[in-house]
Each structure stands twice: as structure tokens, then as C-alpha cells.
Structure 1
């Protein structure tokens, strides 16, 4: 690898790390942001939901950013386009750190916040395609998987960096001061990262493939129309979505995001401990992005990506059950031994499916089931005669439904008497400090999370090279960006909320895993039949 090639990879990767850092900060601090930027007239849960919806908005607009900046990148150039995207992302994040709270400027606070989130999503939609295309077009034949795999480390490193800065700030200031004002520090620090990224990227030249295309006059005058308005190209984009990126996205988000939600929201592991467990697994596993990128140059992109999807789909259930066994053994025992049922008129029990968290439940049957799901209780629903009052049975005890806080108190008492753990239960895994990793309980969980990260590296390490090689230079930025961001922004970004909603609906803490398993298997089948192997393709401007 020449010094110029190293500089290209370093500049592209570093800038993308910082962009992902900016993007993940908001997700990691959604609870704090909900308290700062939404009215105190709402409950804490409602404010958290609003904050998470604003976070989701950033995912939903990513495909539109792919179209806007992909078109710009194919018309104007790769270098200048991802300079623009990083400036938008960095400045949007910095402004969040300065933004007055709801108490200071009222409803303008959430309006500005959501606008900044939309700008971040648009910028991220253009960033990845630009960086991946730029690096791939600098890579020599037979080395694209290895070169672009460094770009693939950036999402994980950005997440890791954001967790590290948050943990450091929390430790330095204390939880009380962090909640009041110090949460702004990680956002403000991003201006330094932005300055470094811009300075490095300004030193780069345009990609050789784009320069060759311009010199030959073979560029596209309408990249979006050519990429998606002509069936021969649109078909490839659709297959890239269903046969590559959809499965890659759900495996990626399960291993890095849903695992975190599962630990905190279902197993009731403390946020500090859960973040440390995820951070250690990422630290140990990140190098495998490069390993599988390098391997894809030898044996192909398709076998590695599809194998990752298949193995993940076959092993998610046993891995997550083992995580439960180690992280909260009393909960595992209670799920196996305590029989809980909601006895109600079936006509009064509605659907609990609420992936965006905006529904209000008033029927006693629904309120009771939501309360059980919130405590990670495995339950069944039993039919009662029409008009019967709702009763929750916990083994031999009965808890009649009554409106008000007494029902939740009585239900919790009955569950804990039967064997369900308290939030302070000594068996729930806890880490006192970042290097408390040698206890068997902690080491075992990190090992299981590391396996999930290995799946992530298998599907994600070669994906940039595979997408770049599917499309011609004149529409490459546009054509590869859209399926990537629909897969990752929609299929992947909605995974945690949808999976948790499936858990609430069924009363089974593992039921949400069917979401990633279903899409991973779909990608394996479609990819196996329809996706060509591309590692030996010669990408050039006139193809």
C-alpha cells in the first residue's frame, strides 16, 4: 500500500468515524435529551418516546440524503460531496450542544432539534456512499475488499468513541451534573473532530475513476433517472437491497444495538454496565472487519456476507438465551418456572404492536399486558366470559385489575413473591469499573457479545466493495447509496423498536429476534440465487 493510498483510506475512514460519532451521540443520550427539549407537562416516558422518534427521523431520511448527495457526487465529484456532508453533520451536532432547552425557548427547542436530526440523517445518507466509492476507486484490482473494509470499521468505532466520551464525561462530572449541563460536552467536542476531518479531506485529490470518466465525457447527466428509472439498473439496486443490505443491516443492528436494548430494557442491566459490555465486545471484534474484507478479495464477497446472515439466523436464539442466563439468572429461572396469565374477555384485548411508541392504551387487558411486558414477564392470555373483569394470575395468586397505581404495585409484589427479580437483585450483572472484565459472569457475556460482533463483521466487512462493484462509475455513488441506506436506515434502524414491540405483543422476551432472523434468511435465499460474485470485476469510468 502506497503512502497516498494510506492517506486516502485514513482521511475517508477518520471523517466517517466522526460522522458516526455525531450520529450515535443522540441515540446514546436520548433519555437526557427528552428531558431537556420536550415539555415537562409530559411524563418522562412520553418525553423519552418523543426523543426516540426524533432519533428515528434521522434514520428515515437517510435514503433521501443518498439520492441528494449521490446525484451530486456523480455529477460534481466524490471529494467535494463528502466534504459537504461532513460539514452538515458536524455543525448540526455542535449546534445541539448549544441549543437552549424547552424551559428557555419553549416549543422552538424541539422544532430546532428535530430539524437538526433531519439534517444529520441527510448528511449521513450521502457520507457513506461517498467514502466507500472514493476508497474503492483508489484501490488496485484485487484489493478493494481490504481497502474498503477500513471504511466498514467506522460505524463501530464511531459508536465506541461516542460511548467512551459519554462514560468519561459522566465519570468526571457525576450523574447529577451530567443530566443538568455536562451532557452538552460530547456534542461540543465534535467541533474539534469536524475541524480535523475537514483539514485532512481538503488534502485529497478526486478519485482516478471519476477523473477518467470526466476526461472521456462518459458521465451521466441524470444519475437518479439512469440508476432507478432504467430497469436494468433499478433491478440491480433492488437485488442489492433484498439480497445484500437488508440482511446485513438486521445482523448489524442486532449485534450492536438490539443487544444493548436487550440488556437494558429486558434484562434490566444498568446502563453503565451494559455500555461497557458492548464497548468491550466492539473493541475486541472490530479488527475482523478488515480480516473479512481481506478474505473477500480471496474467496469472494458473496460467500462471506451470506454465510454471516445464515449463521446469525441459526444461532441468535441460543446466544440471547445464554446472555439471559448469565446477565440475569433469576429472570431466566422465573420465566421457566412462574406461570403468568392475563384472564380477560378476548374482545377487550387489542393489539399491543406499537413500534414508534405513540399509542395510548386504556383497555384493562392492554394495560395489564403492557405492565407485564415492561417487567420482562413471560405471560399468556386466557379467555374469560364476555364482560368479565381482567385478572392477572401469578401461579396461584390473583391480581384483579384496578385503575390507578395500586394495580402496578400489587402486580409487582405478586411477581417478586413468585420469583421475578427486583431491579436491585444481586444476580444481575454489574461492572464497578471499565476493567472489571475477568469475573466469569462478565467475561462470558462479553464473549457472547463478541460472537454477535463477529457476525456483524462478516456481513459488513465486504459490503462496500460488493456494492461498488455492482454499478458503473457514472451512477455508482447514487446507485449504491440508496439500497445501502434503505437497508440500514429502514430495515436496520427500525429493528430495536419493532423487536421490542413484538416482545410486548407476545409476552416472550425472545420473540423480537424473529425480525432479524426473517430478513437474514430472506437475504440469504435471494442473494444465493440472484446476486453475482463481483470480486474480479474491473471497475472503470466507461463501463
Structure 2
């Protein structure tokens, strides 16, 4: 029984036959639905914060909602351990059937969950619990789908076969945004009242389709072969991570492959959207359409680079993607500024802003619970500039001096003095801060800084072209990664071994890229400094991967 599917797998080296298309379709479709479920929460964070975190102020509630979203990323590696172990013990098919049931059920329950107004603090507690279950399920889904497809693929076509799995995250994001858009247009104002639940409840239908299709699948031939030969691992976690020979490859796969892949993936899609919308102040709808256009153009390249990796190798393509990202991120994002908000570019060039302050007077303004008050003179200046979306440089002032902001250079520069807000009462601080903010806004406007991007000045073809280039970098590093990870590890512990580095890389290095990069921007004032995070990680991966990881395209499973 083991040899029949194995023979079938290798008999189709000339193309993808019907049975293999079914394997790819079933695995990819289920993974699309998993990503759909996962991204719904992020897309509806603002509404979720009102429904489930209304017991605190609006800002703190939104922060809590984002932290709950981040929790899903945090637990993904733990899902990789739990379900990776099951996948190596009982089989790929059964395990990723379990993961999709957990994901679909958790998402559907969110659509039925009473709000904070109805059941109080129990609502956010249950919501976060469901979010954790989603992250755990996703941690087990990807490794199962990638392993299952790869173990069905003929030699010489694993890059092509598994590249279809790589398109699923983008397609899942598309699907979630499409369903939300249809519901918003159809329901109007009622969407935020009760209509937001519909996209979550649709998961019941998607779950039924996915389960039905996956129940028709057979176990992977490679797993059946080692099962029939009595070679299954009895302790996958111990073999994968307790054996230095394999653990070394796990660590190299993390730092020499998935970490760089992850930051390029998130940088080219999510951070690019954030940069357009929040930094360059491009209209939110236009920014989403720009990224959507880039994704439509770029998504086929997942398959292109996956297939190309079967010919020239996985390693060379992924390393090239990391190096290109490191070398071109700064000019590309500066190009986005030039073509999306030229008025901001002109203002920065002709009237640069500098904060002159005692470094000891400047706080790192991060407060997840909304209880701290940042009232020192430096904090007042930086907070006002951040809210206005204005980049600035920092210049040290003598200890104890009150912070100032300088707009422009030379004799024509405008200097505004801040105020020591920490010496004032609450009411006095508000009055002084409102006055300072008004002065600063007037001076910035006079210097040519736009409050919003002028949409009539946006060069849409060039902005879309630059974003498409970023997406193509994403496809370079992501298209071949599944085949490479699968081929790095032995069949008996493959599910466990490949899942952990993938989900640490994507869940932690990649998932926290937007918040990390924004924190760097906020601390330094330079709108491009947030790019140093993905650049440093991509360079690290390029060096480690090039020196220490082997090419695997000709390795049999």
C-alpha cells in the first residue's frame, strides 16, 4: 500500500495530473480559509475594540484589541510544536484536518460572542482565548499543508507544487477584505452594529467545504511508507530538538531562511501599507487599492519563483530576495514618498524639522494601558510632531533646558519653545498644550508641510510599480521556502522540525515588524529608520543562509 501512491507520485514528472491537482487544491483551499479566518480579526480590530473592550477608554481599547491580534502571532510557534508532533505521530492528513476545525470553529464563535455590554469582562476574556486557539491552529496548519503537498510531489517539481501553498496567505487576506467590503456596502451603518459578525459566521460554510474536501484525501505516500516500515518517530519533539544534529538545522533554518523571508514578506505588504497610510498620510481607501493592485500583479510570481527554484535552486532565489530587499528598501520607500506625497518631500528638503532637547527629558512614549502622561517638554514636542506625521531630527541640548523645535535652517528658521508640562496641573497642561500645538501647526503649514497627502499629486502608476516590486521581493523569498524547509528535514520528524522555525520566523520576526519599525520611527523621528529592522534581519539571513545552509532541490524525500 505504501508503494502505490509513491509510484503515482513519481509517474507524473512531466506535469501535474488530476490526482495531484486535487491534492494541491484541497491543501491550498483549506489554508486560504485558515488565513481568511486569521486576518478577519486584524481587519476588524477597530470594531472589535468597541464591541469587546468598551470597558476602557477608546485608545486603550484599541491597543488591547491590537495586542489580542498580536497574541495570535505569539502562540503560532507553540501550535507548531503541538500539531507538528501530532503530524509526525499520526499523520499529516488527520492533523491538518484538526487544525482547520479548530480555526473555523473559533472564528465562527467570535461571530456569536456577546459583547462587553452584554456579559461584561467575560467577553474580552473569551475573545482572547479564541484568538489564542486561532494562533495555535495556524501554527499547525501551514506545516501540515506544505509537508503533505511536498510529499506528494514528484522529484524536480516540489518547488512548483508547494508554491501554490505560498499564495494562500495573500488570497486569504483578499478574501477577508472582499467579504468585509461586500458586507459594509450592503449593510451600511448596520455593519458596525451587528453586520460585522457576518464575515465571522461565514467561516461555518468555509469550514464545511474544507472538511468535506480534506476528508476525501489520502495520507501522504512518504508518511505511509515509513509507517509501514515501522520507522515512525515515537518522540518527534525529542528527536527534532533534543538531537544537536537536527536542532542545528532547525536554528540555521530559522536564522538563515525564515527570519529574513518573514521580514521581507511583512515589509513588502503590511509595512508598505502602513507607510502609505500612516506615515505619508495617503487616503486609506486609495492606499488599500494601491496595495491590492500590487498584490494582483505580483501574486503569480509565487508560482514563477517556486517553479524556478526546481531548476536553479531554492537557496539562491531566497538569498537574492533578502539581499535585494536590504539594498533597495531605502530608495524604494523614499521613492514612495516622492511619488505619493511630494509636498512632504519638498517640505522636508526645504524646511527640515529638528527637536532640540535634553535627552534625559525625552521618554519612550509607549503605554499599552493608557495610564501614563508624557508631559515633559521634549515629550510635548515629539508627541505633537508624531500626530502631525512630520519627520524630524534630534539635537542634544544642555541638561535641564526646555525643549525647542526648529523648522528650517539658517536665518529663516522658525524656533518654537515647548513648555515644562510636568510642572503644571491637568487643566493648565491642556491649555498650554493646545496653544503650543496650534502654534506648531501654523508654523508647519507656513513651511509647506501638508496635513494630508494631496491625492491629485499622487503618481499612481509609479506608486503601484514600486509596491509591485516590493511584492515581487516577497514572492522571491516566500515562493520557494516551503520546498526548502521540507527538504531540509527527514520524513519521520519533518512536520515538527520545519513548522517551528517557520512560525518563529513569521510569527515573531515578521509578525512584530510593523510595531517594531513604528517604535523605531517614533523614537528617532526619521520616517525611514523603521526600515533598519527588516534590513538587518534580511542581511543576517543572507549571510547565515549562504554560508551554512545547503541547497536541497535535488534531494529525494
Q: Is the 8 A contact 1:247 1:522 kept in 2?
A: yes
**Correspondence for 1:523:** 541
C-alpha displacement of 1:356: 6.7
**Correspondence for 2:29:** 14
Q: CA RMSD in A?
A: 1.7
For residues 453 and 327 of structure 2, the distance between their equivalents in structure 1, rounded to whole angstroms, comes to 34
| Counterpart check, 1:31 vs 2:49 | no
**Correspondence for 1:415:** 444
C-alpha displacement of 1:74: 0.4
For residues 142 and 470 of structure 1, the distance between their equivalents in structure 2, rounded to whole angstroms, comes to 15
Q: Is the 8 A contact 2:377 2:418 kept in 1?
A: no
For residues 530 and 510 of structure 2, the distance between their equivalents in structure 1, rounded to whole angstroms, comes to 13
- Quick one: which of 485, 493, 496 aligns to 1:478? 496
**Correspondence for 1:172:** 186
**Correspondence for 2:156:** 142
For residues 155 and 494 of structure 2, the distance between their equivalents in structure 1, rounded to whole angstroms, comes to 17
The unaligned stretches of length 5 or more in structure 1 are 430-440
For residues 501 and 387 of structure 2, the distance between their equivalents in structure 1, rounded to whole angstroms, comes to 35
Counterparts of residues 89-104 of structure 1 (less than 5 Å): 89-104=103-118
Q: Is the 8 A contact 1:355 1:498 kept in 2?
A: no
Q: In structure 1, the residue corresponding to 2:363 is in which secondary structure?
A: coil
- Quick one: which of 189, 212, 223 aligns to 2:202? 189
C-alpha displacement of 1:393: 3.0
**Correspondence for 1:381:** 394
**Correspondence for 1:461:** 479
**Correspondence for 1:435:** none
**Correspondence for 1:263:** 276
Q: Is the 8 A contact 1:243 1:525 kept in 2?
A: yes
For residues 334 and 32 of structure 1, the distance between their equivalents in structure 2, rounded to whole angstroms, comes to 35
1:276-303 Cα distance to aligned partner (Å, 9 max, x none) = 1111111111111111110000011001
Deviates more, 1:260-269 or 1:142-151: 260-269
* TM-score, normalised via structure 1 length: 0.93
1:238-279 Cα distance to aligned partner (Å, 9 max, x none) = 000011000000000001111111111111122222221111
Counterparts of residues 55-134 of structure 1 (less than 5 Å): 55-134=69-148
For residues 26 and 444 of structure 1, the distance between their equivalents in structure 2, rounded to whole angstroms, comes to 31
1:200-249 Cα distance to aligned partner (Å, 9 max, x none) = 10100100111111100001100001000000000000000011000000
Q: In structure 2, the residue corresponding to 1:261 is in which secondary structure?
A: helix
| Counterpart check, 1:5 vs 2:20 | yes
**Correspondence for 1:512:** 530
For residues 369 and 258 of structure 2, the distance between their equivalents in structure 1, rounded to whole angstroms, comes to 26
Deviates more, 1:287-296 or 1:97-106: 97-106
For residues 177 and 325 of structure 1, the distance between their equivalents in structure 2, rounded to whole angstroms, comes to 39
Q: Is the 8 A contact 2:404 2:415 kept in 1?
A: no
Q: 1:357 to 1:517 in 2, by over 3 A?
A: farther
| Counterpart check, 1:299 vs 2:299 | no
C-alpha displacement of 1:330: 1.3
- Quick one: which of 454, 466, 490 aligns to 1:448? 466
Counterparts of residues 492-507 of structure 1 (less than 5 Å): 492-507=510-525
The unaligned stretches of length 5 or more in structure 2 are 1-15, 408-412, 422-428
Q: In structure 1, the residue corresponding to 2:232 is in which secondary structure?
A: coil
**Correspondence for 1:245:** 258
| Counterpart check, 1:277 vs 2:306 | no
1:161-203 Cα distance to aligned partner (Å, 9 max, x none) = 11222222222333x3332222222212222111111111010
Q: Is the 8 A contact 2:283 2:455 kept in 1?
A: no
Deviates more, 1:449-458 or 1:90-99: 90-99
Deviates more, 1:125-134 or 1:182-191: 182-191
Q: 1:238 to 1:105 in 2, by over 3 A?
A: same
| Counterpart check, 1:200 vs 2:220 | no
**Correspondence for 1:434:** none
| Counterpart check, 1:336 vs 2:346 | no
For residues 394 and 513 of structure 2, the distance between their equivalents in structure 1, rounded to whole angstroms, comes to 26
Q: Is the 8 A contact 1:125 1:481 kept in 2?
A: yes
Q: Is the 8 A contact 1:330 1:427 kept in 2?
A: no
For residues 197 and 347 of structure 2, the distance between their equivalents in structure 1, rounded to whole angstroms, comes to 41
For residues 88 and 416 of structure 1, the distance between their equivalents in structure 2, rounded to whole angstroms, comes to 52
| Counterpart check, 1:288 vs 2:327 | no
Q: Is the 8 A contact 1:96 1:113 kept in 2?
A: yes
For residues 492 and 460 of structure 2, the distance between their equivalents in structure 1, rounded to whole angstroms, comes to 50
**Correspondence for 1:438:** none
C-alpha displacement of 1:425: 4.1
For residues 368 and 157 of structure 2, the distance between their equivalents in structure 1, rounded to whole angstroms, comes to 42
For residues 461 and 492 of structure 1, the distance between their equivalents in structure 2, rounded to whole angstroms, comes to 16
For residues 488 and 426 of structure 1, the distance between their equivalents in structure 2, rounded to whole angstroms, comes to 34
For residues 375 and 87 of structure 2, the distance between their equivalents in structure 1, rounded to whole angstroms, comes to 50
For residues 131 and 226 of structure 2, the distance between their equivalents in structure 1, rounded to whole angstroms, comes to 35
Instruction: State the structure with more CA Rg.
Output: 2
| Counterpart check, 1:218 vs 2:231 | yes
Deviates more, 1:383-392 or 1:356-365: 356-365
C-alpha displacement of 1:324: 1.3
Q: 1:128 to 1:426 in 2, by over 3 A?
A: closer
C-alpha displacement of 1:101: 1.7
C-alpha displacement of 1:355: 9.8
